[in-house]
């Protein structure tokens, strides 16, 4: 039995790996390098099109818990992320190119995975996992639409942030620090005075946007809101969002600045940084003009400008079960952001569960019951919850996980106990979930 996995993003690579590790042959179809979307620049698998951060690393964060669960269940994506990590304070960020190259090498070298470089425009017969991502091509989107029928949303819009070279940042106008001195001081902080901020805000709200067919502000998912759209919501919106100064002290003044733009390392060498929270679809010359108003970026060399692209996702509560299978045709599963999970780690988690459960079904085993108390289970149960009427993409969060049966003082302490409860459950499941898999070799 061979399973076809369509798409070699984070979800597709994770799904293919989990199937192959359980003795199932996989044909992994990827249209790169023959064809690319507007957001893709590399021919490697698992390309990170937006940020290079996999977000919080600690167990007081729901995404930190999700990462730890995946580690304990042998996730390829987490192994490669840990191996290519760069300093990012309390977050797990990776060397963008190094991470994708390592995932590609691991997948291509697996004896049970056959890679086919081609664009798939119709759903094949047999067992299929569709992981074509938020940038699903038009022919495949049409094929999916034909399969699921009319009446279900298939798109919203997303944006990516610009990259600048470190050597072009004016460090006389910036400083290294992490918010509240948490972790190591890995972020470059670019302070703005009130006068500088207000001038920047005024130009940002009036800057010319690139044409994006069908784009409207309300179609953008909140987690990837373009910075100019956010700015139009009010003069102080950015100061309570990506430009918030809380927990940062300018060593030159000893005080919190009026506003702060943060830059995060984008590669292991520290030669490239991205503008945190600066997803945008402004025209390229406008990005250069407006973002150069930030004092530390007056002479910045932009290595990549921000881009806007269409994202595709399903009306999953009506279409999928908790294992990411299509209810009307269980031979077809979906994985990744097209299921309505939002974020790199969440995409990997959906690919993990889709791969595991497809393999277990083909091997005649019962599904592994990931309960709602686990992050993996909570995510699958959210995207398949038919009571969710206005379905929107969702990051993992502790609101999806049942509360404790006792009171705990302090949010961080409560979250830590929620994570401890989950990991106790995970330990009881490991033998079942990992049954028949080979020992993981170091990479």
306 has binding-site annotation: no
- Rounded Cα distance between 237 and 235, Å, is 6
8 is in an annotated binding site: yes
Buried b / exposed e across 229-253, counting CB within 10 Å, b at 16+?
bbbeeeeebbbeebbbbeebbbeee
- CA dist., res. 427 & res. 430, Å (int): 5
- 197 φ/ψ angles, rounded to the nearest 5 degrees: -65, -45
Residue 363 to residue 113: CA distance in whole angstroms? 18
Counting Cα atoms < 13 Å in the Cβ hemisphere of 430 gives: 15
| 354 is annotated as contributing to ligand binding | no
Can you tell me the distance from the alpha carbon of 60 to that of 47, in angstroms, rounded to the nearest whole number?
28
Would the annotation count 11 as a binding residue? yes
Burial 208-220 (b: 16+ CB within 10 A, else e): eebebeebeeeeb
Residue 9, marked binder: yes
| 223 annotated ligand binder | no
Comparing C-alpha atoms, which of 292, 313, 317, 312 is closest to residue 302? Answer: 292
301 in Cβ contact with 164 (< 8 Å): yes
Q: Which two tokens stand for residue 19?
A: 């199937």
Report the distance separating Cα 376 and Cα 400, nearest Å.
Answer: 11
- Output the known binding site for FAD: 7-12
- Output the known binding site: 7-12
């Amino acid at each position: 039995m061979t399973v076809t996995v369509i798409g070699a993003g984070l979800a597709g690579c994770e799904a293919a790996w989990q199937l192959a590790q359980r003795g199932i042959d996989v044909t992994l179809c990827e249209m790169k390098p023959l064809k690319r979307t507007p957001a893709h620049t590399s021919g490697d698998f698992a390309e990170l099109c937006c940020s290079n951060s996999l977000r919080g690393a600690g167990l007081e964060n729901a995404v930190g818990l999700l990462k730890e669960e995946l580690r304990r269940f042998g996730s390829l994506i987490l192994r490669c992320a840990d191996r290519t990590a760069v300093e990012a304070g309390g977050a797990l960020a990776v060397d963008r190119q190094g991470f994708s190259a390592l995932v590609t090498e691991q997948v291509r070298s697996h004896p049970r995975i056959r890679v086919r470089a081609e664009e798939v425009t119709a759903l094949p017969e047999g067992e299929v996992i569709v992981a074509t991502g938020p940038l699903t091509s038009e022919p495949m989107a049409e094929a999916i639409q034909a399969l699921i029928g009319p009446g279900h949303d298939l798109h919203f819009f997303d944006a990516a942030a610009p990259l600048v070279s470190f050597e072009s940042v004016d460090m006389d106008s910036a400083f290294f620090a992490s918010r509240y001195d948490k972790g190591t001081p890995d972020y470059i902080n670019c302070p703005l005075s009130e006068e500088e901020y207000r001038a920047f805000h005024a130009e940002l709200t009036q800057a010319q946007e690139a044409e994006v067919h069908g784009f409207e502000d309300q179609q953008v998912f909140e987690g990837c809101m373009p910075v100019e759209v956010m700015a139009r919501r009010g003069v102080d919106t950015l100061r309570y969002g990506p430009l918030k100064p809380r927990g940062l002290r300018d060593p030159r003044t000893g005080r919190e600045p009026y506003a702060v733009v943060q830059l995060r390392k984008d590669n292991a060498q520290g030669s490239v940084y991205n503008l945190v929270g600066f997803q945008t679809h402004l025209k390229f010359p406008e990005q250069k003009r407006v973002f150069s108003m930030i004092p530390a970026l007056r002479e910045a060399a932009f290595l990549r400008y921000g881009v806007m692209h269409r994202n595709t996702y399903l009306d999953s509560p009506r279409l999928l079960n908790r294992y990411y299978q299509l209810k009307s045709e269980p031979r077809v599963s979906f994985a990744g952001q097209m299921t309505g999970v939002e974020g790199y780690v969440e995409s990997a988690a959906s690919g993990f569960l889709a791969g595991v459960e497809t393999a277990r079904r083909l091997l005649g085993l019962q599904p592994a019951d990931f309960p709602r108390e686990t992050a993996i289970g909570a995510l699958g149960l959210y995207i398949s919850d038919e009571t969710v009427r206005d379905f929107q993409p969702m990051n993992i969060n502790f609101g999806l996980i049942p509360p404790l049966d006792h009171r705990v003082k302090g949010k961080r302490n409560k979250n830590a106990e929620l994570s401890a409860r989950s990991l106790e459950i995970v330990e009881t499941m490991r033998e079942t979930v990992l049954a028949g898999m080979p020992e993981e070799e170091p990479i």
